[in-house]
A and B are shown apart, each in its own frame.
Chain A
Amino acid sequence: MIRLKESENLGRKIRQDDLEDLGAPTWTLLREAIVRQRTGEALELMEYERQGLKRVHDYRAGVMALGVTYIADMFGEEEVPKCWRAVSESAMKATVPTGLDPLEETEACQVRQRQHQGLGMIIEEEDRYVLVCDPCGSGGKLRREGIGGVTKKAYPWSWYQTGIPYYCVHCSVMWEILCIEQQGYPLRINVLTDDINEPCYNYFYKKPELIPDKFYTRLRMEKPKE
């Protein structure tokens, strides 16, 4: 028997099924409830699964954040971008250029935000699309919760800012530095303010030539001549 019930010790609902039912995917139970039009049960299972997925996601993101924090603490924070380069370079080489136009690129990023259970919106401006992540479902959320270390010094890979989470350095390495190396311009530009409660901004310029020089120089890189 399936029993989704409150657990006092855990402080939340959890499936307290008979042993033979513990392996049944909640997705399967949800589909059954939808088909049989047991609306209350379906809604309860949906929320249970959504919260569980968020918990798993956040735990895994935390492991990554703490992994690079450990590297920084033990071996120096200059090692952090090297780690992100090592773990993302082959994937970026395989996928960049993506072949998407800037709006599609913005929407693809928004899909990833949604999968991270982050909140955000797209704003179109004259020269670019802006994805406002409030918070970003991975790094922004970790930052607000104080999980993982932050840069003590200003580096090109931290956009010459201190206080940038080591986790968020992957945005600089993946979406800016590696992309400039591969295709001459960043796939997206990331702006983090000093206020952790502010959103993270992702800029997707409509044409590479519209990207201001400052977004190259802050990485100690040069914008290609037109």
Chain B
Amino acid sequence: MAIKQRNAGAVEGGAGNTNVVKETMLADVVYMPKWDAMLEAVIAGHKRIDEALDLAGEARLGHHNIIQGVTVQGTAQIPTYIADQYGEEYVGKFWRWMLLEPIKEFLDKKYSIEEMLWLDAEDLRLYDVSNIVVKEETERFVLTYDTNGIPQRQRNPQICGVTKQAWPWSWGKTGMPYSCAELAVKWEILPTELQGYPIRINLISEAPDGSDTYLYYKKPELIPEEYFTRIGMRKTIF
């Protein structure tokens, strides 16, 4: 462990400005993930393959823990708190308030369906979602995945509440996790308001241990009417 002497008194509020004993750089102590150590092991090649693999495993676990255990949980708990304290109608309002400007910017980019598939598959991989399968059908692309990773955490009733009433942002269903409403608002409701049709259709499993499906229609006019009516809107492109 590298120890360096440090200029005393640089930290606000110290007990005594002459009492700094040692400084330990972040990279020198126990932590995970160790990206910098992994970098060195990978560069070292055959001599340190096992070490590089161990470090890759640690990094994956470390990031999984913080993303699933903290940030995903937090983003499920806060809408749940909003629903419990102020009424679940505010969940839809919150997602709209938060997502309107970002989705306008997103639409300005005019991503192709291929780019959407790359982005969504990437996102799901980063959340450690398993069994991601993408298939092309005549009218659409279909992406499915198992509801582990982020969905599993958000389907835990101890963490994330579910709709008591049917709302457009819950696809007209009760029992939908408040966190999943983000998908309805972000990819369906706001894009339909702004450009006349959803970016993608989200078929969220009603069973916590099922599979979720995203649909990407090749042309807006191919999107069935039911995917507009379930979010309280009408199809206008034929």
The residues of A with any CB-CB pair to B shorter than 8 Å are 7, 9-10, 14-17, 19-20, 22-27, 30-31, 34-35, 37, 39, 42-43, 46, 49-50, 52-53, 55-57, 60-61, 63-64, 66-68, 70-71, 74-75, 79, 82-83, 86-87, 107, 110-116, 119-128, 130, 132, 191, 193, 201, 203, 210
B16 within 8 A of A: yes
Complex Cα–Cα for A20 and B131 (A): 11
Least CB distance from A61 to B in Å reads 6
**Stretch in B111-119, B162-170, B205-213, B217-225 with 4+ CB within 8 Å of A:** B111-119
Neighbouring B residues of A119 by C-beta, 8 Å = 26
Complex contact B29–A68 (CB within 8 A): no
Neighbouring B residues of A67 by C-beta, 8 Å = 75, 78-79, 82, 94, 98
Contacts known (A37-B45, A191-B12); A14 close to B31, Cβ less than 8 A = no
Q: What 8 pairs between A and B have smallest CB-CB spacing?
A: A23-B132, A60-B71, A67-B78, A115-B66, A126-B19, A22-B121, A87-B77, A114-B31
Neighbouring A residues of B63 by C-beta, 8 Å = 53, 57, 115
Q: What is the size category of the interface that chain B forms with chain A?
A: 35 or more
Which residues B119-159 have CB closer than 8 A to chain A? 119, 121-128, 131-136, 141, 145
Least CB distance from B166 to A in Å reads 23
B238 within 8 A of A: no
The majority secondary structure among interface residues of chain A is: helix
Complex Cα–Cα for A52 and B128 (A): 12
Contacts known (A64-B74, A74-B90, A75-B86); A115 close to B65, Cβ less than 8 A = yes
Least CB distance from A187 to B in Å reads 16
Neighbouring A residues of B21 by C-beta, 8 Å = 124-126
Neighbouring A residues of B187 by C-beta, 8 Å = none
Complex contact A110–B26 (CB within 8 A): yes
Complex contact A60–B67 (CB within 8 A): yes
Complex contact B45–A39 (CB within 8 A): yes
Please tell me which one of the listed residues A15, A34, A56, A66 contacts residue B42 in the complex, with CB atoms under 8 A apart: A34
Please tell me which one of the listed residues A46, A52, A121 contacts residue B25 in the complex, with CB atoms under 8 A apart: A121
Neighbouring A residues of B72 by C-beta, 8 Å = 60
A-B contact pairs, 11 of them (CB 8 A): A56-B123, A60-B71, A60-B75, A70-B82, A70-B94, A113-B31, A114-B32, A115-B65, A122-B29, A126-B21, A130-B11
Can you list, as one digit per residue, whether each of B16-30 has a CB less than 8 Å from chain A (1) or not (0)?
100111111110011
**Which of A30, A132, A201 has the most chain B CB within a 10 Å cutoff?**
A30
Complex Cα–Cα for A86 and B67 (A): 20
Q: CB-nearest residue of chain A relative to B46?
A: A37
B6 within 8 A of A: yes
Neighbouring B residues of A19 by C-beta, 8 Å = 117, 134-136, 141
